[in-house]
Amino acid sequence: MLSTKQISKSSSSKRNFVTLLDIAVGVVVFVALWQVVFQLKLYPSYLLPSPAMTFNRFTELVRNGEMEIALITTLERLVIGLSVSLVAGTGIGLLMAYFRRFGHVMGSFSLGLQSFPSIAWVPFAILIVGLNDLGIIFVVIISSVFSMMISTYNGVRNINPIYLKASKNMGVRRLCLLASVLLPASMPSIITGVRQTWSFAWHALIGAEMLMASVGIGAILYYGAQFINMSQVIASMIVIFAIGVLVDRLLFYRIETRVRTVRGLLPTSQL
């Protein structure tokens, strides 16, 4: 007889297979429609290349090593910028929840800056930080850290007060309260914030690379547009989309689902 853990694992594998199948079907339909539009010749081939032409350009970029170098460089910038945003955003968010007046001031300030377009930080970064990797990373951090701050702040604020009262009655001190009550109880909101922060960071990084970098996926996209090489533009867009989907579904979505399930916010069958 199968145990609950085995049933859950089987259900998870089935769900993952269905998700991959849905993505595969979506890709096939998209490519088919793309080919149909190309065959109709609604646009000249230099503006709308066929899937085969785009694939050939992609293989050229891979063969000459340009795509590999760009991918490594972009991911390095992403890891650095995202890591700083997550650590700083979580820390400041906890301080905002701990010091109420500071939280009220920073809450309104953060919401305003979160809605600020990431591309608008580029001129500021160029003039203050410089036209280099540090400038690109600065744009990534400043465009994503506020999302993590707000998610952490709201997560701690929405904790059931009974948890805090019970902990204080049991003599739990402030530092222990943070580690044993506040962080675990607010973890679902924090993990959701991590997923949102990654999305903001990825958007900002590509935009910054288009205007500030000579190497990177965003730079490949930009140079393709400058030389009217639509095969390169579409190939780089597909790579950007693929990385976004893979990282979100295979990493952050799984982490969020696991945390929410452990906290009883999702049925085990959805793991």
Q: CA angle, 225 as apex, 31 and 80 as ends, to 5°? A: 90
Residue 152 vs residues 2, 65, 123, 216, 251: alpha-carbon distances, Å: 39, 40, 29, 31, 20
Write down the mean pLDDT value for the chain.
83
Q: Which pair of structure tokens corresponds to residue 29?
A: 């339909």
Q: Under a CB-based contact definition with an 8 Å cutoff, are residues 164 and 178 in contact?
A: no
pLDDT digits (tens, 9 = 90+) for 124-141: 999 999 889 999 999 999
Cα-based torsion angle of the residue sequence 148, 153, 155, 160 in order, rounded to the nearest 10 degrees = 170
Distance between CA atoms of residues 93 and 55, nearest Å: 44
Q: Under a CB-based contact definition with an 8 Å cutoff, are residues 209 and 74 in contact?
A: yes
pLDDT > 50? residue 7: no
Distance between CA atoms of residues 152 and 94, nearest Å: 6
Contacts of 14-21 spanning 24+ positions with Cβ under 8 A: 15/270, 15/271, 19/249
Which of 74-83, 94-103, 205-214 is the least confident region?
A: 94-103
Closest CA to 219 of 232, 228, 231, 230: 232
What number of CA atoms fall less than 13 Å from residue 238's CA on the CB side? 16
What's residue 11's pLDDT?
A: 55
For the entire predicted model, the pTM comes to 0.83
Q: What are phi and psi of 132, to 5 degrees?
A: -155, -175
User: In which element (H, E) is residue 5 found?
Assistant: helix 4-40
In total, the chain counts a number of residues equal to 271
What's residue 154's pLDDT?
A: 87
If one looks up domain 49-270 in CATH, what number appears?
Answer: 1.10.3720.10
Which of 16-25, 82-91, 171-180 is the least confident region?
A: 171-180
What number of CA atoms fall less than 13 Å from residue 207's CA on the CB side? 18
Please report, for the chain, the start and end positions of each structural domain, with discontinuous segments joined by +.
49-270
Distance between CA atoms of residues 188 and 61, nearest Å: 40
At position 144, the amino acid (one-letter code) is: S
Q: How large is the average pLDDT for residues 9-21? A: 61
